[in-house]
Structure 1
């Protein structure tokens, strides 16, 4: 008699216990925020854009040129990060740390599209990092200074 009672308890209670354990595990698995892993957290910084002022841009850049003829010559959007290539036909060299003579036309790379104006602007450049195949093909040596906006040239008062 004892054996049949124990068998009926195992037959009735054991499936219920297993079902409860499965339901408990399934509910925990359904919470995606619990298992969420952001693989691109360092690349996606929403609301944390830093814009440099004129003095910071001038101090941190390798080359500063005052130019009025800056044109977009090429761009690549779609796969990977967007790339924009700009061309300077002439300009006034204000600062340089690498080259004492600048040969025009000068091309430079920018990871963002620049809001260029009709009048003269300051072009803040630094040494090109990465993009070695593109640099070789397009003869690029400089890139736009990250965090630098397009500032118009101010006339001396």
Structure 2
């Protein structure tokens, strides 16, 4: 009888140890992840518009070399930047026939401005209601448009 009790305890301990030592593959989901969109994912690539595409999407296009950053909300929530254009020429407009300079615009991206004259692609301001009322801002930078320099025409 003593042998039967020892055998019973040994088998119980052996069975519990066997169950605990079994590794279940389904508990490790990293090995079984299936990426359904691996061909469609493009990490660290941003869409950049061509000059013609940015011109077509814009409500107003200005050319100016006199644009300065006057304010930003960098580090205070959603970043935006306010630029002031003191002079320039209108290349395209769909809304306003006359533009009174200086004009302030809003951009959700920091613009890499150069000293040369650049095209400024603008669209009607979307959102930012309180800032628009306080600063009298009507336009914002077209979001995917980069800064393109004005090409000098040869004569």
State the TM-score bracket (shorter-chain normalisation): 0.7 to 0.9
Question: Which residue is equivalent to 2:53?
Answer: 56
- Residue in structure 2 matched with residue 37 of structure 1 by the alignment: none
- Structure 1 counterpart of 2:93, from 76, 92, 96: 96
Give the TM-score of the pair, scaled to structure 1: 0.74
Name the CA distance, whole Å, in 2 between partners of 1:4 and 1:58: 89
Report deviation, 1:33.
9.4
Residues 33 and 152 (structure 1 numbering): CA distance in 2 closer, same or farther, change over 3 Å? farther
Q: Are residues 14 and 132 of structure 1, via their aligned partners in 2, closer, same or farther at CA, if it must alter by over 3 Å? A: farther
Cα distance change, pair 26–155 in 1 and its aligned pair in 2 (3 A): closer
Question: For 1:51 and 1:12, how far apart are their aligned partners in 2?
Answer: 66
Partner of 2:71, secondary structure, is: strand
Tell me the residue number matched to 2:36: none
Which portions of structure 1, spanning 4 or more consecutive aligned residues, are displaced by more than 3 angstroms?
A: 3-7, 23-27, 31-34
Q: 2:107 aligns with which of 85, 105, 110?
A: 110
User: SS of the residue aligned with 1:86?
Assistant: strand
Give yes or no for contact 2:109–2:143 (8 Å, CA) kept in 1: no
Is 1:131 the equivalent of 2:132? no
> What is the CA–CA distance in structure 1 between the aligned matches of 2:137 and 2:8, rounded to whole Å?
81
2:144 equivalent in structure 1: 147
Q: Distance in 1 between matches of 2:43 and 2:135?
A: 32
Task: Give the CA deviation at 1:155.
Answer: 2.3
* Farther-moved stretch of structure 1 (90-99 vs 58-67): 90-99
Give the match for residue 68 of structure 2.
71
